[in-house]
Amino acid sequence: MPTEATIAANKKVLKELPIDDRQDFDDAQRGLIASDPDLRVENARGIVLWNPSSYAFEKGEAPASVNPSLWRQAKLNNIHGLFQVTEGIYQVRGYDLANMTIIAGQTGWIIVDPLTTQETAAAAIDLARKHLGNNPITAIIFTHSHIDHFGGVAGIISAEEAERKNVRVIAPYGFMEEVTSENIIAGTAMGRRSMYMYGNRLPRSERGHVDSGLGKCPAFGSFGILKPTEIVDHTPQEMMIDGIRFIFQHAPQSEAPAELTFYLPDFKTFCGAEVLSATMHNLYTLRGTKVRDALKWSSYIDEAIELFGDADVYFGTHHWPLWGNERIQEFLKKQRDLYKYIHDQTVRLFNEGYTPLEIADRIKLPESLRKPFYNRGYYGTLRHNARAVYQAYLGWYDGNPANLDPLPPREAGTRYVELMGGAEAVLVQAQRFFDHGEYRWVAELLNHLVFAEPENAGAKEMLARTYDQLGYQAESAVWRDVYLSGAYELRNGAPDKGGDFSRFRNILKQTSIPHFFDSMAVRLNALEAEGKRITVIISFTDRDQSYELALENAVLHHRKSGPDSRADATLRLTHDLFIRMLTGQADLKTTFSSGDLEIEGDPAEFARFFSLFDRPSGRFNIVTP
């Protein structure tokens, strides 16, 4: 239950912000064409992927267990349906974490960002067709390389149909490379951490998950992708797409490593993609991504102000639109200055010798940037964004020699607990600080004890209660989810199952073969591979391509094989079969017995080679050793 300290902290928010301001609610409901109150999206196995009614409790005033500012954002993000943005432009919102935008061209629909999963995208396009007509899809625009903006494409059109009908697929430069980097190479660790960031294991309730700040949460279904047929790589880049004039802005290293925005001059409408949002965004995300460039991010918004300054309509790939040039300009300028302020003031402070933690505790936004709801930290936060700027320039090391080679958490925890007089003494002191509402300090104390004694039930329960209070006070939805997920796993343990890599099969089918082998290289168990030299050739019979994989010095290299290539063994198989083997849907021994692949050389060499690669489960502990 929320403590008196938490209740007081949340009441303070009510006094500081105009929580009753209805402008955002008016904007979020404007242009509603249809909404499905019974919306419920399931996959082929009957597992529920999307269910807005699970948030039906988000009504009235904020309960004591939710920050009132976050509660307001949560209610806004639960408005769902088909909306008209302006003449010829529509959005399906609230069917996934992101929005699907539909632009009516001369002969069909131009789809912008077809959501995360095939299942939610299919439900969204069905809603649109029910009320707007069964128009063909003539083009697809992927605004950037995050999965909630492309993963559902198979739900609106298959790869075969897109190719047969010459559907244009437009994406920013580097799109496919960044998709692979984020979802394939780092996907296992990022997936596990995403469970905390999005509160996957938490109940939808006043004391559990309420929102993600950017939307309700991502859907986890079947993922897909289409390779771009056209690339946006400069600004301004003009295209005529199905009779509609587009002016693209190339915005790499902003919210995503590969990103674009665009302007529709005949509509005076600007799509800010995810460079702009109705929240402070992340310069670093808690699930773990490449740090984003705050200065470039700000500069792209400034460039958009200059290029598209006459816009009367704004929409993004999350949240709700804005109307009116004056309001749009104010929004753009304050988001521009938000990221530049974080950048400039962090740099100023680290040049004065402040460390990341000191900067996070010291930096404050001016009132003009702090008060607008669209600059509040529902997703990113000022504290972790300032640390991201520090990391971008100076890295993980804060300059203090004591932090250059510290002990790992379990060993450090054991020694701290011993110095503090043992577990019981630590619990007594932790309870004293807990009673005074000093939850950040209690979390630090008890984290040492839990890592020293992971079976200490009293320590885990008090730390869980501490994380509860930190979560209940958090304005950031993802901080709330992280704290409450930590509390959940202290009480219930890590998940029994990790991420299902087979869900990425359609993405892997469209991923370049060299990127496949990059993902294999990062799974090589170097301790097992030390001292071994193995060379194998993998020949894809349906693509007339062969690659040489060479293991030496506990490192895997790959290159196209040539007529002079020599190997210990050669494997001949189709690309699709290789993907099924890579995702665990087929194993080497069974497949070899079936005759679907051919091995030239010693089969034992292949078995030995493949045995050196880890298959991470994605179930590792986070809040315990």
Confidence check: pLDDT of 300 > 70: yes
The pLDDT of 390-399, averaged and rounded, is 96
pLDDT of residue 69: 98
pLDDT tens profile 551-585: 999 999 999 988 878 888 898 888 888 888 777 77
pLDDT of residue 549: 93
Tokens of 534: 């193995």
For 319-375, the DSSP string reads S--EESHHHHHHHHHHHHHHHHHHHHHHHHHHHTT--HHHHHHH----HHHHSSGGG
Q: How far is CA 483 from CA 409, 457, 473, 603, 617, in A?
A: 18, 18, 10, 49, 23
Angle between the N-to-C axes of helices 382-394 and 325-351, in degrees from 0 to 180, rounded to the nearest 10: 60
Confidence check: pLDDT of 446 > 80: yes
d(CA 103, CA 110): 5
Look at residues 155, 148, 79 and name the one whose alpha carbon lies nearest to residue 120: 155
CATH 1.25.40.880 residue ranges for the chain = 403-492
d(CA 474, CA 477): 7
pLDDT of residue 213: 98
pLDDT of residue 565: 81
Residues 6+ apart with CB under 8 A from 62: 10, 68, 70, 71, 72
pLDDT of residue 499: 65
If pLDDT is split at 50, 70 and 90, which confidence band does 590 have?
low
For 64-105, the DSSP string reads TTS-HHHHHHHHHHT--EEEEEETTEEEEESSSSS-EEEEE-
Residue with tokens 């010459």: 166
CATH topology of domain 512-610: Nonspecific Lipid-transfer Protein; Chain A (3.30.1050)
Confidence check: pLDDT of 46 > 70: yes
CATH 3.30.1050.10 residue ranges for the chain = 512-610
The pLDDT of 520-546, averaged and rounded, is 91
d(CA 49, CA 221): 7
The pLDDT of 517-524, averaged and rounded, is 89
pLDDT of residue 592: 64
CATH 3.60.15.30 residue ranges for the chain = 4-375
The pLDDT of 435-441, averaged and rounded, is 98
Q: How far is CA 89 from CA 109, 116, 315, 338, 625, in A?
A: 10, 21, 10, 29, 51
Pick the CATH number of 403-492 from 1.25.40.880, 3.60.10.10, 1.10.287.990, 1.10.645.10: 1.25.40.880
CB-CB contact of 321 with 313 (8 Å): yes
pLDDT of residue 507: 75
The distance in angstroms from the start CA to the end CA of the chain is 27
pLDDT tens profile 10-41: 999 999 999 999 999 999 999 999 999 999 99
pLDDT of residue 566: 85
pLDDT of residue 595: 65
pLDDT of residue 209: 98
- How much of the chain, in percent, has pLDDT values that exceed 90? 82
The CA-based diameter of the chain, rounded to the nearest angstrom, is: 76
pLDDT tens profile 370-388: 999 999 999 999 999 999 9
Tokens of 375: 């600059």
Q: How far is CA 23 from CA 30, 327, 375, 467, 530, in A?
A: 11, 11, 15, 33, 63
pTM score over 0.85: yes
d(CA 440, CA 252): 36
d(CA 612, CA 525): 6
pLDDT of residue 515: 81
CB-CB contact of 303 with 249 (8 Å): yes
Tokens of 580: 């099924």
The C-alpha angle 562, 565, 569, rounded to 5 degrees, equals 125
DSSP bridge partners of 141:
112, 170
The pLDDT of 340-366, averaged and rounded, is 98
pLDDT of residue 156: 98
d(CA 301, CA 587): 49
pLDDT of residue 537: 92
Confidence check: pLDDT of 258 > 80: yes
The DSSP 8-state label assigned to residue 108 in this structure reads S
d(CA 114, CA 221): 13
pLDDT of residue 218: 93
Residue bearing the bigger pLDDT, 275 or 598 = 275
Q: How far is CA 418 from CA 240, 411, 413, 456, in A?
A: 70, 11, 9, 15
pLDDT of residue 594: 64
CB-CB contact of 48 with 452 (8 Å): no
If pLDDT is split at 50, 70 and 90, which confidence band does 588 have?
low
Residues 6+ apart with CB under 8 A from 428: none
pLDDT tens profile 77-133: 999 999 999 999 999 999 999 999 999 999 999 999 999 999 999 999 999 999 999
- How much of the chain, in percent, has pLDDT values that exceed 70? 97
d(CA 69, CA 13): 7
pLDDT tens profile 156-184: 999 999 999 999 999 999 999 888 777 67
pLDDT tens profile 306-349: 999 999 999 999 999 999 999 999 999 999 999 999 999 999 99
Pick the CATH number of 4-375 from 3.60.15.30, 3.30.540.10, 3.30.1130.10, 3.40.47.10: 3.60.15.30
pLDDT tens profile 473-503: 999 999 999 999 999 999 999 998 776 666 6
